[in-house]
Structure 1
Amino acid sequence: MISKPYEDIKTGDTATTNSRIITAEYVRAFGELTGDNHPLHTNAQYAEQTRFGKQIAHGALMISTLLGLVELHPSYLQCFYSLDNLRFKAPSYFGDSVYAVCEILAVTPHKDGESAVVTSAAKLINQDGVTVLSGDFSLLVAGRSTALADPALKAQGAP
């Protein structure tokens, strides 16, 4: 979604990503990394007794999954700016496949004059077409004059 300078991003632009499968290992690793080892995510017997009936992925992991699926090219993405109107609409279970759909809502020039806040309505959707989460994600995006060199090219020895 962020693959070009802000001057080339237009309100109404849309993108759909590839999918990712939510595995037990993925959820376990996230729990270890963050210290969030709630039994709803880590203990099948506990999770069976909950309203969900089985283990689910962390909500924060699903936000991160959405951000990981969306193209955020390092030459243009400067930083994550804000997240508004976040709603968790359905759980993500182990074995679910999810993908993201985004639509640009606004491109607002930043006060620095060299970047813009790009706001996108984003949804994470599972294999059944159920929206797992939605929210308005805002990112600070470089313009043509402030875009950085592609780090992949530098790693390959390009100037």
Structure 2
Amino acid sequence: MISGAFEDIRVGEKKITEPRTITESYVNDFAMLTMDTHPLHLDPDYAAKTRFGRRIAHGALMISTLLGLVELDPRYMQCFYSLDEVRFLAPTYFGDTVYASSEIVDVQTRSDGKTALVSCRGSLVNQSGTEVLSGLFTFLVAGHSHAINTSVE
């Protein structure tokens, strides 16, 4: 999503990431980290009685997975600004493999001229080509003159 200074980012740029398989341990680790232990994610017997028929990954985990898969260059990406229009379109089951797809939809230079708000339409897509999550992600992005040097000396 954010691969450089805002001056170099163009509306219409599209990227697709490498895939990630959603495992039971990945979901369990997220449940313990967040304390979200809803049985839909952790209890096979409970989940079998739901509309999904089996356990599914947390929606928040899928948002985090999307953000983890995309490029967010630390020299320029200053912070996560907003998340809008989030839709969970299909469940993500254990064993599903997902990838992120993103497109830059807006770059708004701020009045200081040092940063811009960069908005991206992001999606998470499973191995069958089903879009499981979509949203509009906006980031505060630095320009060339305000990059953070990330080299270790």
The residue aligned with 1:74 is: 74
- 4+ runs of 1 displaced by more than 6 Å? none
The residue aligned with 1:18 is: 18
- The letter for the 2-side match of 1:60 is A
Cα drift, residue 110 of structure 1: 1.8
Give runs of aligned pairs for residues 8-47 of structure 1, distance below 5 A: 8-47=8-47
1:17-45 CA distances to partner (integer Å, 9 max, x unpaired)?
A: 00100000000000101010000000001
Cα drift, residue 83 of structure 1: 0.6
The residue aligned with 1:50 is: 50
Q: How high is the TM-score relative to the length of structure 2?
A: 0.98
The residue aligned with 1:96 is: 96
Q: How high is the TM-score relative to the length of structure 1?
A: 0.94
CA distance in 2: counterparts of 1:66 and 1:10, whole angstroms = 21
Query: Which segments of 5 or more consecutive residues in structure 1 lack a partner in the other structure?
Result: none
State the identity as a percent.
56
CA distance in 2: counterparts of 1:64 and 1:14, whole angstroms = 19
Cα drift, residue 111 of structure 1: 2.9
1:126-145 CA distances to partner (integer Å, 9 max, x unpaired)?
A: 00000000010000111001
Pairing 1:136–2:144 present: no
- The letter for the 2-side match of 1:32 is M
Alignment RMSD:
0.7
